[in-house]
Amino acid sequence: MDRRNNIGRRLFTGLIVMTILWFTGPLCAQAEVKFNAATALLLVPNFGVELSIAPHYSTQLDVLGSFWDSVGEDRDPYQINETFVEGRYYQNPDQSGWYTGAHVGFGMFTLQKVNAFVIYDQYQDPETYSDSPGSFQSGRAG
């Protein structure tokens, strides 16, 4: 039940942020909002906001997140999120074409391969392997 409330809060927060960005876009002509519709269909929204700060310079915030931590009970590990801030220098003053930039941020991905396709895993010790639900250890407390 707590997981449903968490998903609901994330969805509500995302809708509020998107609504604010939608209606404040015309007020800030220098802002450009970008959205990845392909990942949104999988409920993994990916959006970015690019702000013009000078004729050749801009800054961008990219955010990717997932509304759930795992795909199913049998395949628990699937956690994904990333946030990056990027500074850009465009060759053209209208901020089109090629650019050079630097970015800083974090990403956390915890994915798990399907065991059915593993013929031989040389890095897995058979004595310590456990395929029971919840046996996978990740760096994220949940």
Q: What is the mean pLDDT of each run of 10 residues along the chain (142 residues)?
A: 64 72 59 88 88 90 80 66 92 91 87 59 58 56 46
Structure tokens at 12: 């509500």
What was the pLDDT predicted at 84?
A: 92
Is the distance from CB of 67 to CB of 51 less than 8 angstroms?
Answer: no
What was the pLDDT predicted at 138?
A: 46
Q: How many CB atoms lie within 10 A of CB 39?
A: 16
What was the pLDDT predicted at 16?
A: 72
Structure tokens at 62: 């990219």
Strand order from edge to edge, sheet including 79-90: 31-35, 46-52, 57-65, 79-90, 99-110
Domain extents in the chain? 2-117
pTM for this model (two decimals): 0.55
